[in-house]
Amino acid sequence: MTTNTIAWTVRMPTAGDCYDATLTTAGGLVFVGHESTTNPTYSAYDAKTGANLWNFPTGIKVAFSAPAISYEANGKQYVAVVQGGGGGNSNQQRNTGHGDIVDAFVLP
């Protein structure tokens, strides 16, 4: 932060789409949700290099309702994210046809 130098940049695939707030872990991962009309995904990046490490196609065209969280259970680290609902105005709310979703992913 003292040098004002950008360490890395990732160009997101589609302009005009929405992105969730990032979650960073002590293990060096950065997670971000990408709401897209064509390819909605939840992705992990290497915090040091910006390399894309993992993508999960959500399969639904909805906004991520809240930033992801990281937690530990039974000695394993997880990342959980809520999908569905909508944003601050009714134009952003979309019916998923099956309610909102919580996905939890175990980290290696």
pLDDT tens digits along 23-41: 999 999 999 887 766 777 8
Q: Classify 19 as helix, strand or coil.
A: strand
Residue 5 lies in a domain: no
* Domains held by the chain: number: 1
* C-beta of residue 40 within 8 angstroms of C-beta of residue 32: no
Q: How confident is residue 86, by pLDDT bands cut at 50, 70 and 90?
A: low
Residue 7 lies in a domain: no
- pLDDT (mean) for 57-76: 79
Residue 2 lies in a domain: no
Residue 38 lies in a domain: yes
Residue 12 lies in a domain: no
Whole-prediction pTM value? 0.77
Residue 75: partners with Cβ closer than 8 Å, 6 or more residues away:
none
Identify the domain containing residue 92 by its residue range.
18-106
* pLDDT at 71 (0 to 100): 95
